[in-house]
Amino acid sequence: MRGEVLHYDEDQGFGFITGADGKRYTFTRENLRREPAMRKGAAVEFQPGGGQARDVFSIASSTAPAAAADSSIKIAPAQARNASAASAPQAQHFGRSSEQAQPTDLWGYFWRGVTQNYFNFAGRARRKEYWGYFLFWMVSLLVIGGIGLFADNEMGNFDSSVSAAVTVGLCGTFILATLLPSLGMTVRRIHDIGLSGWLYLVVLIPTIGSLIILVFALIPTQARENQWGPVPAGVRV
């Protein structure tokens, strides 16, 4: 697959690529096939898999040699300018299409969180993405809980020792199924404000831990590229 390098930190050997499919992939120095480093904006080919890019190598553009063997063959300045002007919109279109492919609506953030980003703990999540995800997560939990209560009532579980077995089962299954994407979303939100995702462990502190995570979730996006990636799509810098 073709893509474009969004960020690469040579010191840490870690970076991000936006693929032609609009998805964002992580890669490390070990994933580079030929080059020891990658410059931002470089066009590359890579093998996608599990949110990570492997066998990454840059696509070398064909250029005319500095000293031609036959001096009679030359590219006219006007033709060179036309070729440059023609290639510039294509590069700009590729960058725009990659950004536009990322959803910026609340439902889109939730759906991508439980599908494409199910195991994604890398990158950044803007404040709107975080709250959009958990808004629809809560709505989904309430709907599932309502279905469970209706089923328990129809089955007469409230009049027996079984009680709300269906409700507990459905809600418990939903919570377990969305545990990893919810953790990943919170970690990426912490990355977005320029902090390490390991700070999520403060949630283990009784009472105050959840309040600290809430404060992290309310802090605006860091309006510059940081070590976890560029500014998320849709954020005005």
One pLDDT digit (tens) per residue for the chain, 237 residues: 888 888 787 766 778 888 888 788 888 777 787 666 777 888 888 888 777 787 888 886 433 344 444 444 444 454 545 544 444 444 444 444 444 456 668 888 899 999 999 999 999 999 999 999 999 999 999 999 999 999 988 887 777 766 788 999 999 999 999 999 999 999 999 999 999 999 999 999 998 999 999 999 999 999 889 999 998 877 876
What is the per-residue pLDDT for 103?
A: 62
Is the CB of residue 51 less than 8 Å from the CB of residue 25? Answer: yes
What is the per-residue pLDDT for 49?
A: 77
Domains of the chain, each with CATH number or no CATH:
2-61+74-100 (2.40.50.140), 106-218 (no CATH)
Is the CB of residue 15 less than 8 Å from the CB of residue 53? Answer: no
Q: What would the two tokens of residue 155 be? A: 């089955």
What is the per-residue pLDDT for 101?
A: 54
- Read off the amino acid at residue 64: A
- Please count the other Cβ atoms lying within 10 Å of the Cβ belonging to residue 48: 16
- Dihedral over alpha carbons 149, 154, 158, 163 (to 10 degrees): -60
Distances (CA, A) of 164 to 130, 148, 176: 31, 8, 18
What is the per-residue pLDDT for 237?
A: 62
State the Cα–Cα distance between residues 33 and 38, nearest whole angstrom.
11
Is the CB of residue 24 less than 8 Å from the CB of residue 230? Answer: no
What is the per-residue pLDDT for 201?
A: 95
Taking the mean position of all CA atoms in its chain, how far away is CA 211? Answer: 25
What is the per-residue pLDDT for 107?
A: 87
